[in-house]
Amino acid sequence: MPDSDSDRTAPGSPAGQENAGDGPGTRKEAGGGLLMGRVFGVPIYVAPSWFLVAALITWFFGNQLDRVLPELGAGRYLVSLFFAVAFYASVLVHELAHTYAAIRFDLPVRRIQLQFFGGVSEIEKESQTPGREFVLAGVGPLLSLVLGGIFWAGMLTVERGTVPGVLLAGLMLSNVIVAAFNLLPGLPLDGGRMLRAVVWRISGNPMTGTVAAAWTGRVLAVVVLIGFPLATHLTGVTERDSYTGINSLTDALLAAILAAIIWTGAGNSLKMARLRERLPALNARTLTRRAVPVTAATPLSEALRRANDAGARALVVVDGQGAPHALVREAGIASVPEHRRPWVAVSTLAQDIEDGMRVPADLTGEALLDHLRATPATEYLVVEENDEIYGVLSTTDVERAFVDAMTGPAARR
């Protein structure tokens, strides 16, 4: 069962939401599932799909128990349910290893989610060095191997053919399989991230590592799609003794699902890497609208006249000393009919400049997006190093540039 902890959020839309097409607003946890608690300050969610896979594991493992321990009767399904929960506890340990390493490397982790095909640790930033990337990817499979060793040691202390013996054997084998599968050298698996780190270190270019690991992942997806059902056929296993415990058709379906996950994950990793290449084009200075300062009592019509004469597209409300304290909202201006604008003061349409709404003019790329996500707003005051007003940054302009980066030629390659 693959672990897709290499799936990370995209560099982030200006609104700080998962989908680049979402508008400004607070961060969403849509699709997170059931919150089970927090470890290292990171929330742990169980997706609804987990309950489906837990039921499937209970059914499959229960059928296997019927052959090994027929005396259990219907009680075998209770034992199987315990195995399903214990197995996903092992997956959680795997994810916590990634999370702990990320925190040690000062990489923020949004959440951990247990879902249909394993777990996801949503790490919001890329590793700064190939060495850290290698360690961050490798600790998960390493912990799974350690758990496999612990369960194997436990098997030596119990009698074979008993419930504890079968459970320990199943947990040992499943953790070894999780580690082995995730060490396969293709994105989005941990082995793919380790391969990316190695190529990155040799070439000196993280994009070269990503391209190599992503295409290896796509080759791996094809191998899984063809090789898994072919192995069932060539080894001559019967339908009753197929790898899934049901039949060879189910093996083929499982192979198709795994291949689709790997192929899609590899493609997404490549797309996000291409996007990060273009993120430096998101420059606060180049995206900023020229603004004119006005006092709070200035009629809107007069303020717009001054802006038009100056070739500006934004208004900043200043006090008597010229210090900015509010921004006139573009949406507020649009809501006032033209015939009423001479009698509406700009202060009634302004939003006070709060902490985080001042953006350094030299911010670019992910640093700019991180700043905007930290304080969601529709407009921001852009300032120079000496705190001089440079202009106003609108999230609509940033979002448009972000979408252009996602859909541009470099993102489609």
3-state secondary structure of 323: coil
The C-alpha atoms of residue 384 and residue 359 are separated, in whole angstroms, by 9
3-state secondary structure of 388: coil
From residue 66, alpha-carbon distances to 73, 121, 161, 197, 242 in Å are: 7, 35, 12, 45, 16
For the chain, helix, strand, coil in percent to 5 are: 55, 15, 30
**CB burial class (10 A; 0-12, 13-18, 19+) of residue 234?**
exposed
Whether 95 is catalytic:
yes
Q: How far is CA 75 from the centre of its chain?
A: 39
Residue 317 parent element (H or E): strand 314-318
Catalytic residue among 95, 122, 133, 399, which?
95
Q: How many helices (H) and strands (E) does the chain have?
A: 13, 11
Q: Could you count the other beta carbons within 10 Å of the beta carbon of residue 26?
A: 9
Label residues 116-138 b or e (16+ Cβ within 10 Å = b). bebbbbbbbbbbeebebbbbbbb
Q: Could you count the other beta carbons within 10 Å of the beta carbon of residue 176?
A: 18
Beta strands, E only, 86-206: 109-115, 118-123
List the structure tokens of 319: 């006090």
Calculate ∠ Cα 64-67-69, nearest 5°: 100
Helix ranges (DSSP H) in 204-247: 206-234
> Which residues, listed in sequence order, are joined to residue 389 by a DSSP beta bridge?
383
CA 175, 177, 183, 186 torsion-angle sign: negative
- The amino acid sitting at 10 is A
The C-alpha atoms of residue 385 and residue 360 are separated, in whole angstroms, by 7
Active site residues: 95
